[in-house]
Structure 1
Amino acid sequence: MSPIPTIPPPHPDPRTPRLALPPLACDTHCHVFGPDAKYPYVADRPYTPPDAPLAKLQWMQARMGIARAVLVNATPHGCDNLVVTDAIAASGGRYKGIANVDASFSEAEIGRLAAAGIVGCRFTFLARLGGRPDMSRFDTVVRRIAPHGWHVDLYLPAKDLDGFAPVLDRLPIPYVIDHIGVVEARLGVDQPAFRALCERYAGDPKCWIKLTGAERVSSAGAPYHDVVPFAQRLVEIDPDRLLWGTDWPHPNVPAMPDDGDLVDLVALYAPDATVRQKLLVDNPARLFGFSA
């Protein structure tokens, strides 16, 4: 058996961004890892993260000017969602969560997660994170979460969208595509994968897209300005179903980003303050159910 790789920690001292975020700005994609002594990592995890506990996340968000967050449970914690629900309970209503759920979860268990602030569950389609899930189990989970008003969060590369079109078309609930569909910026906005993502977004009102993972999409590296045309194109199509987030603490990235750079990208994605309000406040409140 190959050893489990250990990934690096987040930037230790991200700069204060130049962009002042509006009140109630939401980071819609971030993670909490451990501490392992309290929230153990599963044995069959694809990687071992450094402990990145709630206190470190809160410190980073305070520096960035972020008021709300959606915590996405990542693969190292498996289907134990306690690390997320505990953080939500401690947030005073400022956090929601995306759980890891499989077909073994009963409707009662899903109901308890919903009561704890979980608003969706995630499925990963990347080979390095386990590849395509069993689609019959995927359908079972969708049926069980639908009555709770959840959505599904999909780590699904845009290059694979055409093959999943029938699955997406029949979904009875909203779905969110992570990290701009992990397109490759070097291939430009006319690449087939990004065109497929734009067509999907324009044609399906159930589809939301996260303007996250700039450090994954970029070919040029920091400050990731080669990602801006992709975000701007999606804003042109419809700014009302786009979401922004940091992806802190940035697991499995080619080079660790400064979160100040990621915040300042929002000013380039959406130069108009009214559109930024949608990306950062209004859209997250609508999808995730934050109170006014």
Structure 2
Amino acid sequence: MPDYYPFHPTPRRPAVLPPAGTIDSQFHVLGDPDTYPTRPGAAYHMPSATWERAKHVHDQLGIDRGIIVQTTTYGADHQVVLDALDALGPNYKGCANALVFAEKDDAYLRKLNDAGINGARFSFREALGAVLSDDDFKAATDKLRDMGWYMKVQPEQTGIAQHVGKFADVDIPILIDHMGRADASKGVNDENIVALKKQLDRGNVWVMLSLGEKVSAAGAPYDDVVPLAQALIDHAPERCVWASDWPHPVSKKQPPNDADLLELFYRYAPDEAMRKRILVDNPAKLFGFDPVAS
């Protein structure tokens, strides 16, 4: 298993706190491998990234709610997420790994649903070894529809454009991660931004404004990512959400302080009303949280 850089150990308080009810639309939790065995062939592990550390990050950032997304590290075994949801309470929900549809039964899916998991993440990143076959993908999509769950799409390193055909006919809510993994060096005309806009036009597709530090080709302070995010916000402001992606898995460079990433989002959305829309209102609608009074 390759070595990668861990999360920043001392998240600071951001200069401006996010609005009440802010939702971190994706973070991960891991734990002691004796308690949570890793999947054979897992690309990474980070046992220090516990739910307690995640909650500390959220407390520092002023974040009230969040979505725990099952990592590929554990595949279809969701015990680490179930334990975290039980500890963190009703302000947190979960997103399964799509391998669960191929490897577990309906009783297990009901267990996940009852615990607050209401979506599943599909990977097209062959390097992570968690990609469903075409038949399993179709069966999983049908199951999502039956259960009222949303589909989450993790783009390949080269971007979302080459994979949009995979879910072009899927009619349930779809959340595309990481700004489609656009090539920031190509600007707003990158094929992945163009493809992502076309998907957003379908009306059931959402985009997660995350991973700016890795999407950036220029590096900190990530100026080249700002126009990409703003183009997506301008195109579909009602279907943009934000996420920290803590603990920043498979980071080949030291991840920034998490407050830096929240403040990077503030540059995407300088307007206070738009910030609330993306941080609070939009994800509450997508993930099924109670709305926050204005």
**Long gaps (5+) in structure 1:** none
Query: Counterpart of 1:189 in 2: which secondary structure?
Result: helix
Query: Counterpart of 1:170 in 2: which secondary structure?
Result: coil
TM-score by length of 1: 0.93
Distance 1:160-1:23 versus aligned 2 partners, 3 A rule: closer
Matched, 1:33 2:30: yes
CA distance in 2, matches of 1:46, 1:278: 35
Query: Counterpart of 1:113 in 2: which secondary structure?
Result: helix
The answer to whether the 8 A contact 2:5-2:251 is kept is: no
- Counterpart of 1:240 in structure 2 is 238
Q: 1:24-50: CA deviations, max 9, x gaps? A: 101101000112232222232122324
Q: 1:198-249: CA deviations, max 9, x gaps? A: 2221x21111110011111011212222211111111111211111010000
Matched, 1:88 2:85: yes
Task: Find 1:209's aligned residue among 202, 207, 213.
Answer: 207
Matched, 1:254 2:270: no
Query: Counterpart of 1:196 in 2: which secondary structure?
Result: helix
Alignment of 1:73-222 (within 5 A): 73-100=70-97, 101-130=100-129, 132-157=131-156, 161-201=160-200, 203-222=201-220
CA distance in 2, matches of 1:271, 1:262: 14
- Counterpart of 1:286 in structure 2 is 285
Query: Counterpart of 1:133 in 2: which secondary structure?
Result: coil
Shift of 1:160: 5.8
Question: Residue 223 of structure 1 aligns to which amino acid in structure 2?
Answer: P
Distance 1:8-1:158 versus aligned 2 partners, 3 A rule: closer
Question: Residue 239 of structure 2 aligns to which amino acid in structure 1?
Answer: R
Question: Residue 198 of structure 1 aligns to which amino acid in structure 2?
Answer: K
Question: Residue 58 of structure 2 aligns to which amino acid in structure 1?
Answer: Q
Query: Counterpart of 2:24 in 1: which secondary structure?
Result: strand
Matched, 1:65 2:23: no
CA distance in 2, matches of 1:267, 1:77: 33
The answer to whether the 8 A contact 2:208-2:242 is kept is: yes
Question: Residue 64 of structure 1 aligns to which amino acid in structure 2?
Answer: L
Q: Which runs of 4+ in 1 moved over 3 A?
A: 157-167
Mean CA deviation greater in 161-170 or 41-50: 161-170
Q: 1:99-155: CA deviations, max 9, x gaps? A: 122323333321221111001111111132127531110111111121221011111
CA distance in 1, matches of 2:5, 2:151: 28
Query: Counterpart of 2:282 in 1: which secondary structure?
Result: helix
| Count of residue pairs brought into register by the alignment | 288
Mean CA deviation greater in 162-171 or 50-59: 162-171
Mean CA deviation greater in 154-163 or 107-116: 154-163
Mean CA deviation greater in 263-272 or 131-140: 131-140
- Counterpart of 2:5 in structure 1 is 8
Q: Once superposed, what is the RMSD of the aligned Cα atoms? A: 1.7
CA distance in 2, matches of 1:29, 1:105: 23
The answer to whether the 8 A contact 2:6-2:251 is kept is: no
CA distance in 2, matches of 1:95, 1:258: 22
The answer to whether the 8 A contact 1:29-1:71 is kept is: yes
Distance 1:224-1:163 versus aligned 2 partners, 3 A rule: closer
Query: Counterpart of 1:225 in 2: which secondary structure?
Result: coil
CA distance in 1, matches of 2:85, 2:130: 29
Percent of pairs identical after alignment?
Answer: 37
CA distance in 1, matches of 2:265, 2:198: 23
